[in-house]
Structures are given as C-alpha cells and as structure tokens.
Structure 1
Amino acid sequence: MLTAMKKDITGKITRGTQRTLDAFFDAMTALLQAKSFADISVNELCERAGYPRATFYNYFEDRDDLLNYCWIALSKQADLADLASTDPEHRVDTALDAMADLLESHASRLAVILKNNPPEGPMFASLRSFIERQAREIIRTCIDRDRFTLPVDLIADHYANTVMLVLDWAYLRGHPLTREQLHDYVHTLLRGVEAA
C-alpha cells in the first residue's frame, strides 16, 4: 500500500517524473550517509539532485514526504509475492523474509546511515512507521480469518508490531540474527513468551 504523497505515484509515471524522483531519492540517500536527517535542508537536497526548490515542492510537501517516498521506492524492491496464495502457517514467514531481504540488501548503506542517524532519531522513527504500516497491510490481507475470534485489524496490528520489533532488534539496533533465529524470535513472541 502506498501512502499519500503530494505527487501521485500510483499510476503510470512518465520517464521525466521517474528521473526527478530518482534524483531526489539519490540526493536523500547520499546526504543521509553524510549527516543526520535533522540537518538536511531542502536547499541541500535540491542542489544535490540538480533541481530548483519549485520542482521539489511540485513533488513533495517537505523533507518528511521525500523520506516517505524513499521508503516506498525501497519497498518496491521487496519480493512480496502473492501472500494470499501462501499457506496460512507460512504467510508471516514469507512477509518477514521479504522485509529482511530488503534490509540485508541495503546493509552497507544502512550501516553508514546508522552512524549519522541514531535508532531513536526522526529518520528511523519514519522508517519504523513505514515498515509497520506495510507489515500491517500485508498481514491484514493474508490472515486466516477462520483461525481467530479476535478482530482481524487487532491481529494484524499484533503480528505487524511483532515482526517490526524483531526486525528493529536485528537490523537497526545491532543484534545480528541468523534467518532461523529471526523466525524463531517472531514465532516465540507470537506464541507468547510464557509459553516458550
């Protein structure tokens, strides 16, 4: 699910629009590797992207809007195949693997960005919020409704928060886990720590 942006990117995008979006994406990711998100100005983004401020504001409301677009662009790289056709007992694992693959494929860039942007800061708060929304939407569409008596939205929130908690622990807070451990942690937390 794409979140609302100033520029509608849900339909067909022209090559010119894609070039502009790519330039601002590249500018943001390059600057995040050099400094804190809080210290990045719209002027710097425009200078780095090679576009005037007017163009920036034609596409984005503000820096946060561009950052959200960056998460959208990265999430398109995740292989979130048709989860509804996956067996119910494997759906959370499939979504978890897709999100972990995405984070791992950008591990070196993420490590540099972490040096300038602490996990408690606004940049990672934005990333966490985006991943939680994505996970919630993915899980909401693939929950086996017959297995639960609780409301689907509540179950989706619980699953998404658990997946995000483990991804955050492993990839953003520096507690490396094998893929098997990643799955074990999520399933243990979903069963309840008392049952483990």
Structure 2
Amino acid sequence: MKKDLNAKLTRGTQRTLDAFFDAMTELLQTKSFADISVNELCERAGYPRATFYNYFEDRNDLLTYCWIALSKQTNSADLASVESSRRVDVALDAMADLLESNADMLRAVLEHNPPEGPLFASLHRFIERNARQLMLSCVDRDRFDLPADLIADHYANTLMLVLDWTYLRGHSLTRAQLHEYAHALLRGVEIA
C-alpha cells in the first residue's frame, strides 16, 4: 500500500480509497478476482489508472486494502483488558460479527470465487495474520510453558478453522456452538 493508513487521511484520499474499495467489492460480487482488471476497477471507481497506481502496487494490494477496510468494521476490544477466560470468545465474536455483517456480500462473492481460490487464500492469510497478532497481544504467558508466539499461532489457526468451516464452507452454527467448537478444538478432541 502506497499510503500510510495509520496517518490521518485527507478527505480526498479517503474518498479515493472508498471508490476503489467499492469498485472491487462490487466487481467481486459479479465475477472472479482473476477476471477483474485494473482498467475495469478504474472505470468502476471513476479514476484514471495513474491514480490507481498512486495508491496501490497492483490488484492484490487493493485486495489487501479491502481486507483492512473491512476489518476496521469489527468491534475488536483490547483483549489484554478482557478476562483471560473470555479472550477467545471476544476475538471469535469480533471476527464472526464481521463475517455476519457482510453475509450478503460474502454469499455473492462465493458464487464467483471458490473458497479454494486466490481471493479466499488472500482473505485467510489476512485473517490469520491479524488473529495471530490479536492473540499474541493477550496470551497469558504464565499459564503455558510453550513460547507465546506458538500459542498465538495455535489459537489463531483454530479460530480461522472454525470460522472457515462455518462461514465459508456453509455449516450453520449458532454463536454458542461456534464458541463450543473453538473451545473443544483448543482443548483437544480426545474423549477422556
């Protein structure tokens, strides 16, 4: 991304980013990511190619920006301030809320982009990376003999697995079941 998203953005910059975000999300609901060209994105957004390349390296860079913009919709609490027994549920709820609040768009995108394709591979990497960072910031280091980053990876991968199975693979679960499945996997699936 050629713009620093952590800096205060001007209204013009935000308007341009919003236009490209809208163009990408609209096109993804009608065709596969592989079939979307930069020219098509620019035409839909109403900006010339030069503007696109002032903001993004390529389509993948714009896609990453789309994930960032969507993730800002989540109500991600500071997990370090949440009681340790509830951290997994709070993180899982934040990610599930994001997927549920964009369910119609997700369904339309899934029609044209299979879960095994490059679009969802990009989404998986983004969610895993963010979930790992989130979990790493709140691992209760006194509870485990293992390295904190290994535990964070395990938690992030488990949350991603349950979210993928539920929202992308089409298995309907209630929120309580979602929590139950995540906790069961984190404990281990063996029956004592």
Give the TM-score normalised by the residue count of structure 1. Answer: 0.96
Which residue type is aligned with residue 192 of structure 1? Answer: G
Question: Once the two structures are superposed, what CA deviation does each residue of 1:50-91 show, in whole Å capped at 9, x if it has no partner?
Answer: 000000001000000000000000000100012111000100
Return 5+ residue gaps in structure 2 as ranges.
Answer: none
Partner of 1:193: 189
Residues 1-196 of structure 1 mapped to structure 2, 5 A cutoff: 5-195=1-191
For structure 1, the residue ranges without an aligned partner over 5 or more in a row are none
Instruction: For 1:155 and 1:169, locate their aligned partners in 2 and report how far apart those are by CA, in whole Å.
Output: 21
- Secondary structure at the aligned position of 2:30 is classed as coil
Provide runs of 4+ in structure 1 moved above 4 Å.
none
Letter in 2 for 1:173: R
> Aligned equivalents of 2:37 and 2:26: distance in 1?
13
Which secondary structure state, in structure 2, belongs to the residue aligned with residue 11 of structure 1? coil
2: CA distance between counterparts of 1:195 and 1:37? 43
The residue type paired with residue 115 of structure 2 is P
Question: For 2:109 and 2:172, how far apart are their aligned partners in 1?
Answer: 17
* Aligned partner of residue 73 in structure 2, secondary structure: coil
SS of match in other structure, 2:137: helix
Offset of residue 7 of structure 1: 1.6
Aligned AA (1:62): D
What is the Cα deviation at residue 193 of structure 1?
Answer: 1.0
Q: Work out the percentage of aligned pairs sharing the same amino acid.
A: 77
Give the deviation of 1:194 after TM superposition: 1.2
Q: What amino acid is the match of 1:136?
A: R
Shift of 1:195: 4.1
Distance in 2 between residues matched to 1:195 and 1:30, nearest whole Å: 46
Q: Give the partner amino acid of 1:186.
A: A
Give the Cα separation in 2 of the matches to 1:64 and 1:187.
Answer: 34
